[in-house]
Chains A and B, each alone.
Chain A
Amino acid sequence: MTGWEAFAFNFLNPEVAAQYAPMILAGLGVTILLAMLVIVSGLVLGLALAVLRAFGVRPVNLGIIFVVDVFRALPPLVIIVLIYFGLPAAGLALSGFWATWLALTLVLMAFAEEIFWAGISAVPPGQWEAGRAMGLHFLPTLRLIVLPQAIRIAIPPLVNRTIAITKGTALGSVVAVSEILGAAQSGMAFSGNPTPLTLGALAYIVLFIPVVIAGRWIETKFAWRR
C-alpha cells in the first residue's frame, strides 16, 4: 500500500464508515439533546440567580457568590466524575447522561449568573431611579427596564461561554454516555479502525462550525460601540 492508501484505509475507510455512521448519527442526536437541555436549564437557572441577587439580601448574595465561585473553579470533568461516582454513595444514582447534564447545567448556571449580574450592574443607576420615579415597583422596573438592557450587554460573552460549555458534552463519554465521542470510541473499539473517530470529529465540526461562526457574528453585532 502506498502512504495515501494506508492513510485512507485507516482514517477514511468507506466500509467501516458505512457500518458505523448510524451509530455516530445516533450519538449526534444524544449530543444535541444533551446540549439543548444544558443550555435551557443552565441559562434559566443563571438568570434566576442573577435576579435573586438583584434583591440585595446580603446572606443570600454571599451564598450565590460562593456557589458560583465553586462551579467556576472546578473543572467540569471533575464535577461529572464526582456526581457520577460520588452521588450513588449518598443514595442518589444518576445515569451518565443525567450526571453530565447536571454537571454542565451547574457550570453554565454559574457562568451565566456572573455574566447576567455583570450586565445588571452595568445598567446605570439612573435607569432604576427613573423606573421607580415613574411609579413602577421593584420587579416591574427590573423586568421592563433593567433586564432588557442587561441581557443585551450580556449576550456576546454569554454566547461564547455557552458554546464552550456545550462542547463539554463530549466529557460525557468518560461516564459512558454514547454521545458522538462515546459512540465513535465504541465504533473504533469494535472495528479496530479509527475511521469512526474521524467521523465523530467530522460530526463535531458540522455541528459546531456554524455555531462558532454565528458566535463571531453575534459578538460584532452586539458589540458596544465605544
Chain B
Amino acid sequence: MSDFVQAFLNAEIALASSHLLWIGLVQTMLLALMTVPLGMVTGLLLAVLATRKSRWVRWPLMAFTDFFRAIPPLVLLIFLYAALPFGGIDLGAWGSVALAFLLNTGAYYAEILRAGIESVPRGQAEAARALGLRRWQVWIFVVLPQAVRNVLPDLISNTLEVVKLTSIASVVAVPELLYQARQAQSITYNATPILVAAVIYFLLLWPCVRLLSRLENRQLAGRR
C-alpha cells in the first residue's frame, strides 16, 4: 500500500511538478479557447450552407462531414503535422492542431446545427420574411436562436468532447496539461503528475458533465 502511495499519491512530487502542470493548464485553456470557436464557426457556416436546395451544394457537404467524421482526429492531426511537411507545407504544432480541429469538430458541429436548423418549422422563416425581415435577419433573429435551443444538449456535449480532445495535442508536443504531466513523470520517474493532471481535468469538466446529464434527462423525459 505504501508503495502505491509512494508511486501514485506522492505529495512531494505533486508539489515539485505543480509549476509544469500550471503551464500545461494554461495551454489547455488556450487550446480550448482556440478550438471551440473555430469548430463552431466552421460548423455554423457548413450547416447554413447545407440548407441550400441545390444538390451540388448539399452532396459535397455531406461527403465532407462524413469524411471528417470517419477519420479519427488523432490520425488527421498526425497527418497534418508529420506528413504535410513532405509536401512542403509546414503548419507547425499549433497550426496543425487548429486545422485538424477546424475540420474534425467543424464537421461534428455542422451535423448538430443542421439537425437544429431542420427542427425549426419552415413557417417561422416564411413568417419572418413576410414581416419584411432581410435574409440575414431571419437567420440571426428567428431561425438560429430556436435551432440552437433545440440542440443545446448536443452542442454542450460536443463542446465538452472538444475540450477533452485537446489532450491529443500532447502527441505533437504542444505543452498542454497531459504533455506537461508526462514530462513531469519522465523527470521524476513517478506517476503522480499524471494522476494530478487527471484530477485537474475532472475538476474542470465535472460541472459541465453534471449540467449535461440533467439537460439530457429532461430532453428524453419530454419525449414520453
Contacts and interface: CB of A to CB of B under 8 A. Distances in A.
A144 interface: no
A222 B187 CA distance: 52
Interface in A42-88: 69-70, 72-79, 81-82, 85-86
B173 interface: no
A194 B201 contact: no
Interface residues of B, number: 54
Interface stretch (B33-41, B51-59, B74-82, B126-134): B74-82
Chain B interface mostly: helix
Contacts of B217: 118, 121
B4 A90 contact: yes
B185 interface: yes
B161 interface: yes
A89 B79 contact: no
A212 interface: yes
Interface in B171-218: 171, 178, 181-182, 185, 190-191, 194-195, 197-198, 201-202, 204-206, 208-210, 213, 216-217
Contact of A77 (B66, B168, B195, B204): B168
Contacts of A79: 198
A24 to B, nearest CB: 12
Contacts of A77: 167-168, 170, 178
B74 A171 contact: yes
Nearest to B74: A170
Q: What is the interface of chain A mostly: helix, strand, loop, or mixed?
A: helix
A204 interface: yes
A76 B223 CA distance: 31
Contacts of B206: 69, 73
A226 B7 CA distance: 54
B202 A74 contact: yes
A193 interface: yes
B21 to A, nearest CB: 13
A179 to B, nearest CB: 10
A209 interface: yes
> How many residues of A sit at the interface, in one of the four size bands?
35 or more
A65 B127 CA distance: 45
B178 A118 contact: no
Contact of A114 (B71, B182, B198, B213): B213
A91 B78 CA distance: 33
B222 to A, nearest CB: 9
Given A90-B8, A122-B224, A194-B86, A209 B72 contact: no
Interface in B46-76: 66-67, 69-76
A34 interface: no
Nearest to A189: B82
A205 B83 contact: no
In this complex, the member of B74, B75, B170, B206 whose beta carbon has the largest number of chain A beta carbons within 10 angstroms is B75
Interface in A103-136: 114, 118-119, 121-122, 124
Contacts of A207: 70
A100 interface: no
B164 interface: yes
B191 A204 contact: no
Given A204-B70, A213-B66, A82 B195 contact: yes
Contacts of A11: 83, 86-87
Contacts of A162: none
A75 to B, nearest CB: 4
B3 interface: yes
Given A75-B201, A90-B4, A208 B220 contact: no
Interface of A: 6-7, 10-11, 69-70, 72-79, 81-82, 85-86, 89-91, 114, 118-119, 121-122, 124, 153, 164, 167-171, 173-174, 180-181, 185, 188, 193-194, 197-198, 200-201, 204-205, 207-209, 211-213, 216, 224, 226
List 5 A-B pairs, minimum CB-CB distance, nearest first: A89-B7, A194-B83, A208-B70, A170-B72, A86-B191
Given A200-B75, A212-B69, 15 more contacts: A10-B86, A11-B86, A73-B209, A74-B164, A74-B198, A86-B8, A91-B4, A122-B224, A124-B224, A171-B72, A181-B74, A181-B75, A185-B78, A194-B83, A204-B75
